[in-house]
Structure 1
């Protein structure tokens, strides 16, 4: 887990978010599932054929939604508790699919520690979570994939990874394989933050520079969400596309409020 304990503003926050999941232009079924229920925002990308993939991602998201995390603004939650939830999701997926399917998972929970809000970001596989803060876009998560390992070892460049024939092979997933451990990051949550959670159906079509341009050119998170999905479709839409955009702004003292739109 990566932790940044820089003090952040208090609990005077308003959370706005938008979300969308699109079939894309080449797939017959949408194997993505997502949850956008303050304080939990996550995308799961199922693998293993349309029936099994849909089941795996759906079980994963349902497990998170049925936990104490969803619908409880600013819980006190640590990575160990969240990992236990992911182990439960893994067990349920294996029981339902016989190990024939898996899912990636990436997202964040807006938590508090000592009365200070933080983003608890988590990741298994190659879906991603980004943060737009102070005018810069940062990819928080690190892909668990064969091409990322090749990049890390200096065998290919990040540009070559975009078209590498093994770019869709993940090294960690829930429901299949032997490694289901998530990576975690704890980052201060500040007014003005914009979080992007997405499946690889977005990032395989739209580069980081264009993602930055679209995130910074739409004031409302739903507008940014819709623009990102449309950009992926215009670029080919070869996979399912799931996007969540979350904003933090100042709110009424002592009150956390939520505004949501989505489709």
Structure 2
């Protein structure tokens, strides 16, 4: 099995800065590929600082490993969390900064994903798209606790408030999935700006159903921009070939 990768980020229509950051590393000792999307938050460009710091820390730490499993990947994320948290604590300008993270590490046909926050990850297989992440927005956490219904999450006025993020607290708890990959599978990582632009998961699937993966990603980002893209938008895809 081989991997084809494609990724792109765009600031969107209404944002001057791009607080999304994508980091990609391939052909490592510990993994065939690692892809990270981080969506930063905080004033005074702090979101850009947080997203770049956490994504670069993750790929650097993974690159330093001889082998990779779920436990080591959690350890890597903990180090990235500490890096952002300590940077925020040491600078009044960056106090309170943080970021979402969604990442995938692929090794020997197995994809391990971790996420913290509301940046989604999907598996596209045989024309079907499914979630391989957990939404850590405040209303999504309330729905899992049975306080509100799942149908109330999408339109909730606090749907952009995060119950979990990287770097905001000194500890972080991630959601992990592992998938044994098949020929033709796609792993798709996004920032929440894709959903925020009104692009559905079915549209994500349909736009990525073409031979040239980079063109497909570019067209998906263009669709987000055409829809108004009120936030930064980022997409990264790995296809098994």
Q: Does 1:136 align with 2:128?
A: yes
Per the normalisation by structure 1, the TM-score is 0.81
Map residues 70-81 of structure 1 onto 2, 5 A cutoff: 76-81=67-72
1:29–1:50: 8 Å Cα contact kept in structure 2? Answer: no
1:162–1:204: 8 Å Cα contact kept in structure 2? Answer: no
Closer/same/farther in 2, CA of residues 165 and 78 from structure 1, 3 Å limit: same
Q: Which residue of 2 aligns with 1:34?
A: 22
- Deviation, 1:149, is 2.4
Question: 1: distance between equivalents of 2:221 and 2:44?
Answer: 21
Q: Which residue of 2 aligns with 1:261?
A: none
- Deviation, 1:179, is 5.2
Closer/same/farther in 2, CA of residues 40 and 50 from structure 1, 3 Å limit: farther
Runs of 4+ with >3 A deviation: none
Q: Does 1:196 align with 2:192?
A: no
Question: 1: distance between equivalents of 2:236 and 2:101?
Answer: 13
1:128–1:200: 8 Å Cα contact kept in structure 2? Answer: yes
Q: Which residue of 1 aligns with 2:201?
A: 208
The answer to which structure, 1 or 2, has the higher relative contact order (CA under 8 A, 6+ apart) is 1
Query: Can you give the 5+ residue segments of structure 1 that lack an aligned partner in the other structure?
Result: 1-12, 250-263
Q: Which residue of 2 aligns with 1:101?
A: 97
Q: Does 1:58 align with 2:52?
A: yes
Question: 2: distance between equivalents of 1:229 and 1:89?
Answer: 28
Query: Can you give the 5+ residue segments of structure 2 that lack an aligned partner in the other structure?
Result: 27-32, 90-94
Question: 2: distance between equivalents of 1:93 and 1:67?
Answer: 14
The CA deviation string for residues 160-184 of structure 1, in whole angstroms up to 9 with x for no partner, is 4333210111111111036511111
Q: Which residue of 1 aligns with 2:138?
A: 146
Q: Does 1:186 align with 2:178?
A: yes
The count of residues paired between Structure 1 and Structure 2 equals 228
Matched residue SS, 1:229: helix
Question: 1: distance between equivalents of 2:164 and 2:19?
Answer: 17
Question: 1: distance between equivalents of 2:227 and 2:154?
Answer: 14
Per the normalisation by structure 2, the TM-score is 0.88
Matched residue SS, 1:226: helix
